[in-house]
Amino acid sequence: MKFFIDTADIAEIKEAHALGILDGVTTNPSLIKKSGRPFKEVAKEICDLVDGPVSLEVTDIDCEGMLKEAAELAQYGDNVVIKLPLIPEGLKACKRLTEQGVKTNVTLCFSPVQALLAAKAGASYISPFVGRLDDIGQNGMEIIPQIRQIYDNYGFETEVLVASIRNPIHVLDAALAGADVSTIPFSVFKQLVHHPLTDKGLAQFLKDWKEVKA
Ligand code: G3P
C-alpha cells in the first residue's frame, strides 16, 4: 500500500519524506488555507519537493471551469493529479481529462456506488472519506472492501485512495482491505511508527549494553 501525506505544510512533507516511505501528497482547499500561504507558491513548492503524485483540487463547480483550472494546475509539475469533486460536473470533467491522458483523483466520495461512477469516468484515484463517515455515526471503513470488490469484479484500474484518515486503525484496515493508497495526516504518520514497547525495549537494551564489558 502506498503512503501519501494529506497536508499542504512543507515542514510536515519534508519530515515524512525523510522517513523514506512517502509516495505522494494530497491537498485540498482547506489544507491550503491551513498552510497560511498563497496557493500558487505552496503548490509549486510541493510539486518540486516530491517525486510522486501531488493532488491539487479544482474549485470551479462546472465542467468547463474545472477543465480550465486543470490546465493551470498541470503547469505546477509533471506529477500533478487533478482532484475533482464527486458531482455530475466533476464526473464529466474526469471523463474529459482521462481522454486527454491527465491523471485525476475524484474526491468527496462517501459510497461504493459513487466510487463505481468515478471508475466508469476513468478516474486514476477514488478518495473515499472514511473519517467523515465515522463522524456522522457510520463505519467509514465498511465501504473500502466494498469498493475494492466492485473494482476487482470489473477490472477497474482506478486506485482506491483511503482519505479522511483519523487514526492508525484506519491505516491498518485500509491495508487489510487491499486499498492501493492511504493518505495520512502528519499526526497519524507519527503515531504509526511509535509503540511504547519499542521505546521500553530499546531503553532496556541501551541500559544493558552500557554494562557489557568490551
Ligand atoms: O484530503 C481529503 C481528506 O483526507 C480530508 O480529511 O480529516 O478533513 O476529513 P478530513
What number of other Cβ atoms are within 10 A of residue 193's Cβ?
Answer: 10
Q: Is 110 in the pocket of ligand 1 (CB under 6 A)?
A: no
Q: What was the pLDDT predicted at 213?
A: 86
Which pLDDT does position 21 carry in this prediction? 93
Tally of structural domains, the chain: 1
Query: By residue range, what is the domain housing residue 138?
Result: 2-213
In angstroms, what is the span from residue 209 Cα to ligand 1's centroid?
A: 44
pTM value? 0.95
CATH number at residue 79: 3.20.20.70
The pLDDT tens digits for 66-110 are 999 999 999 999 999 999 999 999 999 999 999 999 999 999 999
Q: Nearest-CA neighbor of 28 among 71, 78, 82?
A: 82
Contact 56, 43 (CB under 8 A): yes
Separation between Cα atoms, residue 41 and residue 19, nearest integer Å: 25
Tell me the catalytic residues: 83
Residue 68 grid coordinates? 480550465
**How many whole angstroms from 164 Cα to the centroid of ligand 1?**
4
What pLDDT shows up at residue 135? 98
Length of the chain: 214
Task: Give residue for cell 477543465.
Answer: 67
- pLDDT for 214 equals 76
Comparing CA positions, the residue from 128, 200, 210, 203 lying closest to residue 163 is: 128
Give per-residue pLDDT as tens, 24-35.
Answer: 999 999 999 999
Q: Which atom of ligand 1 is nearest to the CA of 166?
A: 7
Sign of torsion, CA 59 63 69 70? positive
CA dist., res. 210 & res. 14, Å (int): 34
Please identify every stretch of the chain with a pLDDT value under 70, giving residue numbers as ranges: none
